[in-house]
Amino acid sequence: MKREYDFSKGERGKFYRPASRLNLPIYLEPDVAKFVQTYAKKKKVDTQKIVNQWLRNSIETVRSIL
């Protein structure tokens, strides 16, 4: 690394996109991933749909408690 960097020709906010959406990567533990993939394959549904539905169900359960 350099001791100092020259940002005098830099442009603030050049890559800022206020309307952009950030998709967060979520990493499952190997045993959980294997279970979900096996379940999704049996149901002939995409793994992502299964995980999203389970998360929605959990959210609704928590909301009903609060």
In degrees and rounded to multiples of 5, residue 53 shows phi and psi of -65, -45
pLDDT greater than 90 at residue 4: yes
Per-residue confidence at 12, pLDDT binned at 50, 70, 90? very high
Residues 21-62: tens digit of each pLDDT = 988 899 999 999 999 999 999 999 999 999 999 999 999 999
Per-residue pLDDT at 22: 86
Where helices occur in 1-66 by DSSP H, the ranges are 30-43, 47-65
Measure the CA–CA gap between 43 and 35, rounded to whole angstroms.
Answer: 12
Neighbours of 40 (CB within 10 A): 16
According to the model, what pLDDT value does residue 41 have?
Answer: 97
